[in-house]
Amino acid sequence: MSRNHWRKFTARFWKLVGGVSVRTKIFGIVLGSTLMLSLGFTLQVHHALRSVLEQKAQEQGISITRDIAARSTDLILINDLYSIHQLLVETQANFSDVRYAFIVDPQGQVLAHTFSAGFPTDLIEANTAAGMDYQNTTLVQTDEGQVWDVAVPIFGGKAGTARVGISDQSMRQTLTTLTTQLGLTILVVLAGSLLAASLLTWVLTRPILELVEVTRSVARGDFSARVQRWADDEIGDLAEAFNQMIIELGRLDVVRQEREALRKQLLEGMITVQEEERRRISRELHDSTSQSLTSLMIGLRNVSDVCSKPAVDEQIKLLRKEVSTTLDEVHTLAVQLRPVILDDLGLKAALERSVAEWGKRHKIAVDVFVHLGSTRLPDYMKTALYRIIQEALTNIAKHAHAESVSVLVERQKGGLVAVIEDDGQGFEVDNEFDSMHLGLLSMKERAELLDGTLVVESSSGYGTSIYVSIPIASKNGVDNGR
């Protein structure tokens, strides 16, 4: 296996292992270890016991065969075949493992046997023992299974050979009984292992699960939750360290909330100061500059009534037209600096009227949709959003050369979303946004002051889309969208 294949195999293995729970891992380790040890122990015991039983069966067969050889020597010499047959039958009756017994003379002729259905002739050649041999044992396959055939020479082989077949049935029964007992023991051990594994997984996973639950509570902002220390071990130390971390996080969260409250106060104060200054300038423009321009208009009209020269009268008309245009611009500037409708009727009406007037003034088709639901917006948030949209429209009028514009302001889950789109010439965002001009920079700063985001999507020849998202805290309450 190449290194790359080995790495892939290892990665798949750890992915599979990491995909199961700790409880499953512990159960798998305990069950696997128990089964492997039990299987290994059973095989070793089975092999050792089989060897012992085989040796015992062979020794028993040798002992029985030698006894037959010793007791049949005189009977063979006097040719007492009946007594020899009786000796073989008695031996088979006394030893349950003896499957057959027979005696052959030196010429290989069967003198006596215990086969009731006739002697199998092929059995003679299955085993032999020379005159000088102590004995000779071989394994013979019969219709009743495997048999250890033991051959012992009689009187040094001069009187023949005694043959006894020892069955392995008793050995197999003993092995089966022992294996069954071992299996039952393994089941008991396995049950105990499962019980121990259950206890172990409960001891190990309960603190971990509690840690997970407390972690989720902390993620939800609840810093009052604590992990119970179950024992004075590593997991107990982890629980103690985790509780200390929660305490520190709670302290830091209090500091964060205080800083956030202070930041919002500063934000509200800054925007309030800005709007107050805008209101003062707007009032000055309306009360002072507009009145001065109006007085100038009246003075020019009086001069026109007094002077009858055509050239002077024409010049006065041009001056009155210029003053009238300047007066309109001053009025528009005063309204832009602080729209009174924002205070009187709320954000929805102010945006709808401001956008409609902007479209008429710049002769651009524009549609506006404002849906605020029942969300109450703080004054500083209404003012900031109004200024962002106002600045976006100003940028469109100056740079986009658009024919149509769409403005959408909608309350969505968790915040307020504003989308301003145009079909103008667009620009390359990567190049333009890095060196952000004053208009976009002002819009971005206002959005960030409210913990919001501003995203610009545009490309040359395909228009521009501006997305503004501002979070709204639930503690702001509700009203009629003002």
Q: By the 8 A CB rule, do 155 and 129 touch?
A: no
- Total domains in the chain come to 2
Q: By the 8 A CB rule, do 243 and 226 touch?
A: yes
Q: Residue 42: is it exposed, middle or buried by C-beta count within 10 angstroms (0-12/13-18/19+)?
A: middle
Regions of the chain with pLDDT less than 50: 432-436, 474-482
Among the three residues 147, 176, 205, which one is the final residue of a domain in this structure? Answer: 176
Identify the pLDDT of residue 64.
Answer: 92
Tell me, yes or no, whether 55 lies in a domain: yes
Give the model confidence (pLDDT) of 331-367 as tens digits. Answer: 777 766 766 677 777 888 888 988 998 999 899 999 9
Tell me, yes or no, whether 284 lies in a domain: no
Tell me, yes or no, whether 305 lies in a domain: no
Residues 291, 92: Cα–Cα separation, whole Å: 143
Residues 218, 157: Cα–Cα separation, whole Å: 96
Tell me, yes or no, whether 280 lies in a domain: no
Angle, CA 228 vertex, CA 226 and CA 233 arms, to 5°: 130
Tell me, yes or no, whether 188 lies in a domain: no
Residues 469, 451: Cα–Cα separation, whole Å: 9
Per DSSP, 478 falls in state: B
Q: What is the CATH number of the domain that holds 77?
A: 3.30.450.20
Question: How long a stretch of residues is the chain?
Answer: 482
Tell me, yes or no, whether 183 lies in a domain: no
Identify the pLDDT of residue 320.
Answer: 78
Tell me, yes or no, whether 87 lies in a domain: yes
DSSP H helices in 233-289: 234-284
Identify the pLDDT of residue 103.
Answer: 92
Distinct helix (H) and strand (E) counts, the chain: 12, 10
Q: Is the pTM of this model over 0.85?
A: no
Name the 3-class secondary structure at 332.
helix
Q: By the 8 A CB rule, do 141 and 111 touch?
A: no
Q: By the 8 A CB rule, do 134 and 65 touch?
A: no
Angle, helices 169-219 vs 22-77, to 10°: value is 170
Residues 113, 88: Cα–Cα separation, whole Å: 7
Residues 265, 449: Cα–Cα separation, whole Å: 12
Tell me, yes or no, whether 47 lies in a domain: yes
Q: What is the CATH number of the domain that holds 361?
A: 3.30.565.10
Among the three residues 142, 176, 210, which one is the final residue of a domain in this structure? Answer: 176
Q: Residue 64: is it exposed, middle or buried by C-beta count within 10 angstroms (0-12/13-18/19+)?
A: buried
Of 461, 471, 27, the C-alpha closest to 205 is: 27
Q: Which residue has the tokens 């041009």?
A: 318
Residues 37, 44: Cα–Cα separation, whole Å: 11
Identify the pLDDT of residue 164.
Answer: 93
Identify the pLDDT of residue 375.
Answer: 67
Among the three residues 155, 176, 197, which one is the final residue of a domain in this structure? Answer: 176
Residues 262, 372: Cα–Cα separation, whole Å: 27
* Residue numbers of the domain that contains 449: 346-482
User: Across the beta sheet with 160-167, what order do the strands follow?
Assistant: 110-113, 98-104, 160-167, 145-154, 136-142
Q: Phi and psi (nearest 5°) for 481?
A: 80, 20
Angle, CA 193 vertex, CA 191 and CA 195 arms, to 5°: 70
> Which residues lie closer than 8 Å to 416 by C-beta, 6 or more apart?
372, 375, 377, 381, 385, 409, 410, 469, 470, 472
Of 478, 462, 369, the C-alpha closest to 418 is: 369
The two beta strands, 160-167 and 404-412, are unpaired
Residues 262, 253: Cα–Cα separation, whole Å: 14
Of 417, 397, 421, the C-alpha closest to 409 is: 417
Residues 405, 419: Cα–Cα separation, whole Å: 11
